[in-house]
Chains A and B, each alone.
Chain A
Amino acid sequence: GENVEQHPSTLSVQEGDSAVIKCTYSDSASNYFPWYKQELGKRPQLIIDIRSNVGEKKDQRIAVTLNKTAKHFSLHITETQPEDSAVYFCAARWGQNFVFGPGTRLSVLP
């Protein structure tokens, strides 16, 4: 089956700096890769996604890149703000289901 790894598990950055979270997947048949943000005590919310026929997608301060050959994808957050502090999960669609990474706890320090 599909396996998704995510690094780092924790990340601290200064406000205004950039943050990068990386994920790898194992099944080359996976074709859709969403990213979820989960604030403390709240539900995971979809923030951006990328499809296997696209190499990069950007939405304001967040962007996601995909390298199908290497089977890895990354989330980039620029000009980080305190409200970006949360746990971020990557996922890979596998068949009709999604396999989630273990999460990255991002702390943006003022």
Chain B
Amino acid sequence: DAGVIQSPRHEVTEMGQEVTLRCKPISGHDYLFWYRQTMMRGLELLIYFNNNVPIDDSGMPEDRFSAKMPNASFSTLKIQPSEPRDSAVYFCASSKSGGFMEQYFGPGTRLTVT
């Protein structure tokens, strides 16, 4: 298995632009998590899905952030409009229900908003 796949790996955009980050979880995993990592705040959970349904979005910072999971193999995190304070590394992770649900992370998307 290729593991969790994220695209793009790097994104540089101007303030006010829309940004879309993409994630493909490991095949067979039914949980998908979006995290944001910054030096100041560490790893923050933004939202997670189970069987394509959002379960907890309490970590989404504000209405500018939205996430979707239209099917079991694809999820998007959208920021509209983007702001410089959104600059961070965004990780997607997936896990499988049953057992202890070890999470496996994707390579991350480094977002820079100028």
- Residues of chain A touching chain B, judged by Cβ–Cβ distance below 8 Å, are 31-32, 34, 36, 42-46, 49, 51, 89, 93, 96-100, 102-103
Contacts and interface: CB of A to CB of B under 8 A. Distances in A.
A96 B106 contact: no
What size tier do the contact residues of chain B reach?
Answer: 20 to 34
B102 A102 contact: no
Contacts of B104: 46
Contacts, number: 43
Contacts of A44: 43, 91, 105
Looking at chain B's contact residues, the main secondary structure is strand
Interface of B: 31, 33, 42-43, 45, 48, 50, 55-56, 91, 97, 100-108
Contact of A32 (B33, B56, B100): B100
B55 A96 contact: yes
A46 B33 CA distance: 15
